[in-house]
Amino acid sequence: MGELFNLLLVHPTINLLLVFLFLFNLLRIPGAFGFAIIAITAAIRLIFHPLYKNQMKMAQQMEEIKPELDQLSKKYKNDKQRLQQEQLKLYQTKGLNPASGCLGGIIQIPIFIALYQVLRLFLEGKSVKTVISQVNDAAYFDFVKISTLNPHFFGFDLSVPPSQFQQFGYHYLLIPLVTAGLQYLQITLQQPAKKKNAIKPVKQNEKSNESKPEDFQQMMSKQMRLMFPLMIGYFSYILPAGLALYWNIFSLISIAQVKNPWKNKK
């Protein structure tokens, strides 16, 4: 299974990165490897923009019918089978297919896993010589093969983890801070805007009732909004800076994309 994954996804990703690296080196652009990471991340992210847009649109539409779903949950709370039937009818009436939004996300996962593995191959190799050998073995064309690899990019060594800031400079501490901040902003913007009229006052006799599933979901959503950026920020602290560059470009493009489908909604 690993061999097939490498053949279908990892090796093509290596070659795409090598092509970008070749082009930036040909143009004699300083920090060519860093720009190659930016280019391949942006290219893959934009290729999947239609799927991502559909995913975000579906999330917004599901948020819009949430009050109706809540009413059904309350009405048929003791009849799960009837609840599922009524929910399906509601989806059909509104012309929604929740699975279509999930499908777009599922398709993207192996692509970005492959990209992540490729970047780790370039940045976490035992030695530059070993990395070059492994990369060139996967190259489809001789002209994209490399003889050297310069990981420096705007004052940062992309192969160095920020955790080694005492040796390489305190400016490396900016990396996990920026990474965590962008992740938080991305997650916050991805939350569908709730309608003001969807918030209903809680009646006195309802206060003693057990917690609703949506209350639990909101609590988990708030926790994830904080914990996930902290987790990514920590990873960007202990892993090579080049991986943080990948995460940050990914986040910036997502931030630019995520507002579009909702903002343009008529």
Give tens-digit pLDDT for 83-126.
888 888 888 888 887 776 676 678 778 888 888 899 888 888 67
What confidence category does residue 264 fall into, taking pLDDT thresholds of 50, 70 and 90?
Answer: very low
pLDDT at 242 over 90: yes
**What is the domain partition of the chain in residue ranges?**
2-200+211-263
Give tens-digit pLDDT for 151-192.
999 999 999 999 999 999 999 999 999 999 999 998 888 776
Residues 108, 112, 117: CA angle, nearest 5 degrees: 150
Is residue 121 within 8 Å of residue 18, measured between CB atoms?
A: no
Task: Mark residue 207 as left, alpha or beta (left: phi above 0; alpha: psi -120 to 50; beta: remaining).
Answer: alpha
Secondary structure element (H or E) that encloses residue 22, with its range:
helix 11-26
Please provide the average confidence, as pLDDT, over all residues in the chain.
Answer: 84
Compute how many other C-beta atoms are within 10 angstroms of the C-beta atom of residue 145: 15
In our burial notation (b when 16+ CB lie closer than 10 A, e otherwise), range 30-65 reads ebbbbbbbbbbbeebbeebeebbbbbbbbbebbbbb
